[in-house]
């Protein structure tokens, strides 16, 4: 054999392995042969032949033993999870075989993925094919649910049964029942059904307060109509805000169409959530799913069972987020609370003395950390209750008493369209300028029409004020935590400001009030 002169062969030193006594000769020989591959490997084999495993092996074994086994949980909870099928009446003069799948697919994309799909008209039947003239029941959708009580109360999502004319429930033992819709609440996406049966298996409801991020959870449901499918994952986040009334539980449990309304279960076999939504850019599962916390769902379900509807409180304000800059300029310390952007005339908030620009920090003794905490706290308050509300007005805390009213049933919020500028002012006698902001006096008619006591109108914007987002037509209500009654007061406040430091400005645009922070150029 010829050797490559560019390569050098290096003989590895002989390795010695200590084999514990009591090991058979052939095992000693095997350990010696493996010594050429390194002391660590041979030692691992030799020690592994004894009764005491090496630390690495012990750790690996412990890790394997520590992996969760969901079999017992599935056996415990699975029988109480149901498959829900809904049907709807096809319109007269339309072929039901064609109408059903098309409407079901549109509902699939609209409800589960939030993808708007334009409705298509009915397809033309082949010549000679007679369309059905009478209304017929056609398949509409598939979902999941779970049994709350042995006498047949079932919880699911509102969107699973929305628009259904008939609801059928199938248990894991293949029994089927027709269900009545006791009530559905679209705001929280919770519905309660009732089947006429007794002795049914039930679930145990857990405590969401004890749920921890990183904890193992499983989902049981009927994705794509595959009954009692089990998927597992962990809790990714709690109180996830998606803009809805409910602070969702976020998980990485695989959720697909048909899982809606099924239970999210912890390792103690308790239901901690109702699977409701997923986040998706492609229309498929992408590792992020959301569940309604069971305490929120139970509160809604109790009202649906008692009253058939959900009663919520309201105070009549439009609110927005408190930014970090605004919080610092108002001396709040941190960006928390809800900014009151407008107050409905004659509402509980109006009667209590709330004003646009107030920062709500507490309601009925509970802290408002994020702006959307406020509607949840108010909504869970019984109408007619007298509550306390803490606000920060121009940097000063105030305590107000408010009587909560009842929210209209399933009222849809008006879209927050970009409001039109304030009405044109009469010729202005004078103007003042601050950091690129030129303002003029408001007439009495303008104040009356806008329903404000004071303020000045923005005539021109330049420099720092323009960069802050102010524009012509805005109404300045306060500067540096000082209410602005008229042009003279604006000039007085402006004269005392340190022009080299940021200043907060409360302004109104149309029906909305908002803070900005004007930062001078350095």
Least confident piece of the model among 346-360, 425-439, 463-477 = 425-439
Residue 144 pLDDT grade (very low, low, confident, very high; cuts 50, 70, 90)? very high
Q: How far apart are the C-alpha atoms of 145 and 384, rounded to whole Å?
A: 34
Tell me the three state secondary structure of residue 403.
Answer: strand
What local confidence, expressed as pLDDT, does residue 115 receive? 40
Q: How far apart are the C-alpha atoms of 465 and 488, rounded to whole Å?
A: 20
Q: Which of 328, 387, 326 is nearest to 340 (CA)?
A: 326
Mean pLDDT, rounded, for 140-160:
93
In the structure, how many helices (H) and strands (E) does the chain have?
A: 13, 28
What local confidence, expressed as pLDDT, does residue 330 receive? 83
Residue 17 pLDDT grade (very low, low, confident, very high; cuts 50, 70, 90)? very low
Q: Which residues are catalytic?
A: 159, 189, 260
The residue assigned the tokens 């300029």 is: 329
Mean pLDDT, rounded, for 148-153:
96
Cβ(160)–Cβ(145) below 8 Å: yes
Q: Which of 18, 52, 54, 13 is nearest to 36 (CA)?
A: 13
Residue 495 pLDDT grade (very low, low, confident, very high; cuts 50, 70, 90)? confident
Cβ(247)–Cβ(376) below 8 Å: yes
Angle between helices 25-33 and 39-48 (to 10 degrees): 160
What local confidence, expressed as pLDDT, does residue 203 receive? 96
Statement: residue 52 has pLDDT above 70: no
Statement: residue 460 has pLDDT above 90: no
Query: Regarding predicted confidence, which is higher, 119 or 508?
Result: 508
Q: What angle do CA 394, 351, 354 make, to 5 degrees?
A: 15
Residue 118 pLDDT grade (very low, low, confident, very high; cuts 50, 70, 90)? very low
Statement: residue 334 has pLDDT above 60: yes
DSSP string over 117-135:
----PPPPPPTTPPPP-S-
Statement: residue 59 has pLDDT above 80: no
Domain 431-518 in CATH 3.30.1330.60: no
Q: Which of 138, 46, 71, 66 is nearest to 100 (CA)?
A: 138
* C-beta pairs of 40-45 under 8 Å, 24+ apart in sequence: 42/15, 42/17, 43/17, 43/18
What class does CATH assign to 313-406?
mainly beta
Query: Regarding predicted confidence, which is higher, 1 or 127?
Result: 127
What local confidence, expressed as pLDDT, does residue 58 receive? 52
Q: How far apart are the C-alpha atoms of 190 and 366, rounded to whole Å?
A: 25
Q: How far apart are the C-alpha atoms of 93 and 132, rounded to whole Å?
A: 6
Name the token pair of 44: 């691992």
Cβ(479)–Cβ(465) below 8 Å: no
User: Could you state, in order of their start, the residue ranges of all structural domains in the chain?
Assistant: 12-61, 68-116+136-310, 313-406, 431-518
Statement: residue 320 has pLDDT above 70: yes
Mean pLDDT, rounded, for 486-515:
85
DSSP string over 18-47:
PPPTT--HHHHHHHHHGGGG-HHHHHHHHH
Residue 16 pLDDT grade (very low, low, confident, very high; cuts 50, 70, 90)? very low
CATH classification code of 68-116+136-310: 2.40.10.120
CATH topology identical between 68-116+136-310 and 431-518: no
Query: Regarding predicted confidence, which is higher, 382 or 499?
Result: 382
């Amino acid at each position: 054999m010829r050797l490559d002169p560019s390569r050098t062969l290096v003989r590895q030193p002989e390795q010695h392995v200590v084999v514990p006594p009591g090991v058979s000769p052939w095992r000693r020989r095997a350990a010696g042969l493996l010594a050429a591959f390194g002391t660590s490997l041979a030692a691992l084999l030799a020690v592994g032949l004894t009764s005491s495993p090496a630390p690495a092996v012990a750790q690996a074994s412990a890790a394997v033993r520590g992996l969760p086994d969901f079999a017992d949980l599935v056996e415990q909870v699975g029988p109480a999870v149901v498959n829900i099928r809904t049907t709807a009446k096809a319109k007269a003069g339309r072929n039901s075989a064609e109408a059903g799948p098309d409407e079901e697919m549109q509902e699939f994309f609209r409800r589960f993925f939030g993808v708007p799909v334009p409705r298509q008209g009915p397809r033309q039947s082949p010549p000679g094919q007679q369309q059905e003239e009478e209304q017929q029941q056609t398949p509409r959708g598939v979902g999941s649910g779970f049994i709350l009580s042995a006498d047949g109360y079932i919880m699911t999502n509102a969107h699973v049964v929305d628009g259904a004319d008939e609801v059928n429930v199938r248990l894991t033992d293949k029994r089927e029942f027709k269900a009545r819709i006791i009530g559905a609440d679209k705001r929280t996406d919770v519905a309660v059904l009732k089947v006429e049966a007794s002795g049914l298996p039930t679930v145990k409801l857990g405590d969401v307060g004890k749920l921890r991020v990183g904890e193992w959870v499983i989902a049981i449901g009927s994705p794509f109509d595959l009954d009692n499918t089990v998927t597992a994952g962990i809790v990714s986040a709690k109180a996830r805000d998606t803009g809805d009334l409910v602070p969702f539980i976020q998980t990485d449990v695989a959720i697909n169409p048909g899982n809606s309304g099924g239970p999210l279960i912890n390792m103690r076999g308790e239901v901690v959530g109702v699977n409701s939504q997923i986040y998706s850019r492609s229309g498929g599962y992408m590792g992020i799913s959301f569940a309604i916390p069971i305490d929120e769902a139970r509160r809604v379900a109790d009202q649906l069972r008692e009253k058939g509807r959900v009663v919520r409180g309201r105070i009549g304000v439009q609110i927005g987020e408190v930014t970090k800059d605004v919080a610092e300029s108002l001396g709040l310390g941190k960006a928390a609370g809800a900014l009151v952007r407008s107050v409905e005339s004659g509402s509980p908030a109006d009667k209590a003395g709330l004003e646009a620009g107030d920062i709500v920090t507490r309601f009925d003794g509970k802290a408002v950390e994020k702006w959307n905490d406020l509607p949840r706290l108010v909504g869970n308050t019984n109408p007619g209750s007298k509550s306390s509300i803490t606000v920060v007005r121009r940097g000063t805390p105030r305590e107000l008493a408010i009587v909560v009213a009842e929210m209209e049933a399933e009222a849809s919020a008006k879209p927050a369209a970009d409001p039109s500028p304030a009405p044109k002012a009469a010729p202005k006698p004078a103007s003042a300028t601050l950091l690129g902001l030129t303002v003029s006096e408001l007439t009495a008619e303008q104040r009356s029409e806008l329903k404000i006591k004071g303020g000045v109108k923005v005539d021109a914007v330049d420099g720092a004020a323009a960069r802050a987002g102010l524009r012509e037509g805005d109404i300045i209500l306060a500067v540096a935590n000082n209410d602005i009654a008229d042009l003279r007061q604006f000039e007085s406040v402006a004269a005392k400001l340190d022009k080299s430091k940021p200043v907060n400005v409360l302004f109104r645009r149309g029906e909305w009030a908002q803070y900005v922070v004007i930062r001078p150029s350095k």
